[in-house]
Amino acid sequence: MMSAEVLSRDSVVNTIQRLFTLAALVAFMFVLRDGMALAGTRPASVLATLALGFLLVTSFIAGKIVYGIRLPRITGYILFGMVAGPSVLNLVTRVDLAQLRLIDDIAISLIALSAGAELRLRELRPRMRSILSIMTAEMIAVFLAIAGAVFLLADLLPFTAGRSMTAVAAVAVIFASIAIANSPSVAIALINDTRSKGPVSQTILSVTVIKDVVVVVLFAIALSVARTMLAPEALISFTVR
């Protein structure tokens, strides 16, 4: 009983220390950015490198903080990214994000490779029927729900308000085909944080990875269908960059 109380007290102290460290780093980043602004222009690559280092250190601490209150580390990464990004504190600007696009692409590629490497085909074969059933049911349910929501909110959405039903249907198809995708990074992060092993975690990861492969093909088909549904003079662009 006593050891549990000591462990809990130590956990609270560690969390408070990490919060102070995170706050100090945020304040230091504010001062550093203001100092650079006063000193004159700096190359975008220098500011992007500074932003990358700041994100790596602070996201690690934020992950530790939320893990200390029994939440997955990825929750801290996402929440702190929202706070530090252009929408809130603007410590990481849109220019920085554009400069770091290459690292973003590399990270996504490594996550996809890691997710694929986690799959064991020999172990999946006996559960393939259940995996495909779960994946199909989830894709159909999400697709219908999102497409239906777009139709119901068509008059409220800025990109569908006042447009024809054909244009609304095209937008609904695109939105629904994107919404059915899952994030392998989230699945891997949760599995690693909880140290989960067994048929349940393998099935979750398998559904996520296989569905993302299928979604790429379905999105290409949905994009072609949407373009054929719209007249050439339509003001909605579905350009993929």
Among 182, 173, 217, 27, which residue's Cα sits nearest to residue 112?
Answer: 182
Geometric angle at alpha carbon 23, from 19 and 29, rounded to 5°? 145
Lowest mean pLDDT among 92-96, 100-104, 194-198: 194-198
Give the residue-averaged pLDDT of 181-200: 78
User: What is the rounded average pLDDT of the residues 208-231?
Assistant: 80
Other CB atoms within 10 Å distance of the CB of residue 141: 11
pTM (whole model) above 0.75: no
pLDDT exceeds 80 at position 10: no
AA identity, residue 61: I
Averaged pLDDT score across all residues of the chain? 80
Confidence of residue 39 (pLDDT cuts 50, 70, 90): low
**What end-to-end distance do the CA atoms of the chain give, in Å?**
58
Q: Provide mean pLDDT across the span 101-107.
A: 83
The tens digit of pLDDT for each residue in 129-143 reads 888 888 889 889 999
How large a percentage of the chain has pLDDT more than 70?
Answer: 87
Instruction: Produce one character per residue of 202-235: b if its CB has 16 or more CB atoms within 10 Å, e if not.
Output: bbbbbbbbbbbebbeebbeebbeebeebbeeebe
